[in-house]
Amino acid sequence: MNYDLIIEKMKKNKRLKFEEINYIITNFTNGKISEEEMSTFLMLIYNKGLSYKETLYLTNSMIKSGEFIVFEDLNRIIVDKHSTGGVGDKITLIVSPIVAANGLGVAKMSSRSLGLTGGTIDKLESINGYNVNLNKEEFIKQVNDIGVSVISQTERVAVADKKIYALRDKIGAVDSIPLIASSIMSKKIASGSNVIIIDLKVGKGAFMKDAKSAKKLAKIMIKIGKYWNKSVAVIMTDMNVPLGRSIGNSLEVKETMDFLSGKYRDKRLETLSLTISSYMISLGNNIPLKEAYKNAKRVLDNNEAYDVFKKWIKSQGGNPNNLKEKASTFEVISDKNGFINNIDAEKLAEICSEIGVNRTDKRTEVDYAAGIVLNKTINDKITNGEKLATIYYNETIKKELIKEKILDAFEITGIKNKEKSIIIDVIL
């Protein structure tokens, strides 16, 4: 097997065999293929794509690059969800305790930020003391006892994915259907769950910009899941507008607590949270979707889910009332009267990257306190002089430029548009 011959074959648009893809993945994982060489391979996939069979081969090679997690000691049915990444996406923090309160187990391995989107592990690490590195015994015990544990992706599961994931971000090969599909499914299949719900974001603030491409990705992931005898459902959701009121790690943890406690619930966030929870509960407990929805709503409204959330965080060493939230603030004031008919999620994500929320090429660490809180959201009425958003920051920033960018991200007109559902489609 020869690297150069495989690359030449790709350049000529010839299909690769499993052995050829496996050769690249195996040798990159063990260090015999360099990052530069792997970058060439990934960019060819990014630019030319892969067939379904090649994507399956890639996924299988990535699965076999590490261990399978076997939960033989778990006394709960294990279900999982994955988001393809969005702006203000704190769904894992909300859905996991709802599902756990319904008797299922969420044994989840999550990642850090990639591109303009935040990572669940970054959000959890904004809680002082939270331990993202439990060993297998601690992980299993917590899922048995509480119903949920979220840790950082172990070094031993889908080893190749972790290296490829970081390299994709570095070289700008993030929004590739074969690379997204193989990354998501290799982690989820190797992590031991039999039920996998995928929250596939579509729009300006997501990797998938259009519904057509998103459906193609969804169908590939479902086919890969069936090959491995997994139940997979893909919920396509709108990510043209940020999810919820907060964007930023500690800010999203605070919004999660407000949501679970019933203090404040953004409508779109509630719709999506209950939809994802319902499919997880329905498939996991083998009950009708309507019954699953009622059960999800019940544990949310009676604070059972909030109780599970607090036990989960405490069990992993954290205190949700002790966040890394030290920051300076300034407010952005509306200069118009009317209705907010659009909020550009991508523009807000770019601002968040500027103020330290996410990792960039120049920054390897995140500012857990930085972010944006929307004082007004989609379809709200606003008057000239009202607070539009509050910016949390610690880095040196140009306030006037940030204000201009925030104002530019909001579309305010005299007519209120018809509200659109956050759920675009569900593919089973």
Q: Within a 10 A sphere around the Cβ of 47, how many other Cβ atoms?
A: 10
The larger pLDDT score, comparing residue 322 to residue 115, is at 322
Inside any domain, residue 293: yes
Co-location of 343 and 284 in the same domain: no
Query: What integer pLDDT is reported at residue 136 of this predicted model?
Result: 82
CA dist., res. 36 & res. 20, Å (int)? 18
Identify whether residues 357 and 301 lie together within a single domain: no
Res. 251: pLDDT tops 90: yes
pLDDT of 368 > 80? The answer is yes
Which range has the worst mean pLDDT, 153-157, 198-202, 248-252?
153-157
Q: Is the pLDDT of residue 118 over 90?
A: no
pLDDT > 90? residue 69: no
In this predicted model, what pLDDT tens digit does every residue of 355-364 receive, in sequence order?
A: 988 766 555 6
Q: Residues 119, 215: one domain?
A: yes
Residues 358 and 221 grouped into a single domain: no
pLDDT of 109 over the 90 cut? no
pLDDT at 191: 82
Residues 163-180 have pLDDT tens digits of 898 899 889 888 899 999
pLDDT band at 245; cut points 50, 70, 90: very high
pLDDT above 70: residue 116:
no
- Going by C-alpha positions, the residue among 56, 52, 49, 68 that lies closest to residue 22 is 56
Q: What integer pLDDT is reported at residue 363 of this predicted model?
A: 54
Same domain, 388 and 305: no
In total, how many domains does the chain have? 3
pTM of this structure: 0.89
Q: What is the pLDDT, as a whole number, of residue 70?
A: 75
- 7-21, 81-95, 108-122, 252-266: range with lowest mean pLDDT: 108-122
Residue 55 is assigned to a structural domain of this protein: no
Question: What residues are labeled active site?
Answer: 82, 161, 168, 183, 187
60 found inside a domain: no
Is 195 in the same domain as 258? Answer: yes
Q: Is the pLDDT of residue 115 over 70?
A: no
Rounded average pLDDT over 85-97:
93
- Evaluate if residue 219 carries a pLDDT over 80: yes
* Residue 380's CATH number: 3.90.1170.30
Instruction: Tell me: do 128 and 204 sit in the same domain.
Output: yes
Gap between the Cα atoms of 185 and 68, Å rounded: 13
Domain that holds residue 344: 328-413
Domain shared by 106 and 171, yes or no: yes
> What number is the average pLDDT over the span 183-211?
88
| Mean of pLDDT values over 191-216 | 89
pLDDT at 192: 80
Same domain, 398 and 263: no
Q: Are residues 106 and 223 in the same domain?
A: yes
In the chain, what percentage of residues exceed pLDDT 90?
76
Going by their DSSP bridges, the two strands 338-343 and 410-413 should be labelled as: antiparallel
Closest CA to 45 of 135, 235, 173: 173
